[in-house]
Structure 1
Amino acid sequence: MKFFRKIRQKLFTESKFSKYLIYAIGEIILVVIGILIALTINNYNQNQLIKAKEQKYLKGLKEEFQTSKLKLTELMDVNKNNYEGAKQIIVSITKNDPPTEIEFSQLIYKTFSFDISFNPNNSLLSEMINSGSLKDVNNNVLRRRLTNWLSTLEDISKQESELGNQREKVLDLLRSDEYSLRTILDLTDIYKQVDLPKGENHISNLDLLNSKEFENNVLMFILTSYATQKAHYQPLMDEIDSIISLIDTEIKNEG
């Protein structure tokens, strides 16, 4: 800078104003170019940092959704087993071919013991949404899918709640004085797992097969389970696959 200042002073003292003016303008242009280059470099560095941050988020999101997919796969298997077991009960009622007490106890336990609740991994996605970092995801379609994910889970939760209500209606019949949960626990050996003494006098639950209320509740359970599987879980699985595919595309594009 001292070098340029000396040149300016020399030109000015020698009354070479036109040359001084041209030189001054040239110097201003050089300064502007320097600033623009610096801004370009700074913007490039900022963009690289944003891209690196996005890639870190994308890889983390992929792990989360892959874990959620595994959880949903297991849950769908449980739900399918539940309504398949309920269908066996209805078949026994329809064909008037009752199972033995042990078979019925095992069928009841297998069908109605496991509650259904999808618990996906959302810690990173929630952090991104709360911190405003979701904007760092460049793909508009992927960003929209991620934004809608949590609201989709709310719909799933409502369906699972309805399914739980239908399950409870079946189990409520077993809580009455006419029937016995003790019989089911004893004949399926569950009493050993929960460290309970085995009962001696078992009340038969087979009369449930003659109960229209029981049949109606089981049928409602089947319908709700099936709807949960086909109208909620399967589309959710498709959405997970779609999100993972979009994430993979963004990771490959950057690579």
Structure 2
Amino acid sequence: MSIKDAVHPVIREARATVLPDPADRHGPLPPLMLALTVVTGLVDAFSYLVLGHVFVANMTGNVVFAGFAVAGAAGFSLAASLAALAAFGVGALLGGRIAHRARGHRGRVLHLALVVQTVLFLAAYAVARYGDPLDATGTRYQLIVLLGLAMGVQNATARALAVPDLTTTVLTLTITGMASDSRAAGGAGGRTGRRALSALAMFAGALVGAFAVRFGSPDLPLLLATVLLAGCALDAFALSRSEARWAAPL
């Protein structure tokens, strides 16, 4: 197989993710899931670089950090990791309730969840911008809780929508799939383009978030994420009225 033959399907899959076929079972959802993946990169860049060694989206990292903290490793806070885990869990519960309440229409599930998430991010941005200094304990935990709640809602929503390979927060299985399902491994090589886009989206969010913290303002990643979420919420509002096949529950 030539390089062209190998690359063309990947490009085609990536294009279909960004510009999906309206007749596809997941309709217009894939690009919105990619946008939420960018949000994950932005918010975890903020939480790790500004709030200390804690994530508000990547809960695997917090479990590991909690272990480091218990072992007495410097720079890790058990309380911060547990606060993030607890807030994320409550947010996932809220996201699950939203998903079950609007389960008859996937567009409504996404719209309601995005409205809640946007409000939580806006509140977090207000705390970071106008509240006490970011290194104050109270401010730090307010932000961890608000952002953890928002990302729990996002993760539960992505789970309910179940768009393949676009979980918005977890890349371990995505990267595993790229390798284990590849033609080199003896697989069919399916969805490599979409999986690569998912990884690139999170990388882009983290990169922009890190640059924003280092060369802009510490709260700038939250502002960027809030604007992106608001745009997605507006888009989802229009989608919530669609009667297309993709809107029906899986």
The two structures have a TM-score, normalised by structure 1, of 0.31
The one of the two structures with greater contact order (alpha-carbon pairs below 8 A, sep at least 6) is 2
The two structures have a TM-score, normalised by structure 2, of 0.31
Which structure dedicates a bigger proportion of its chain to helix? 1
Mark the structure with the bigger radius of gyration.
Answer: 1
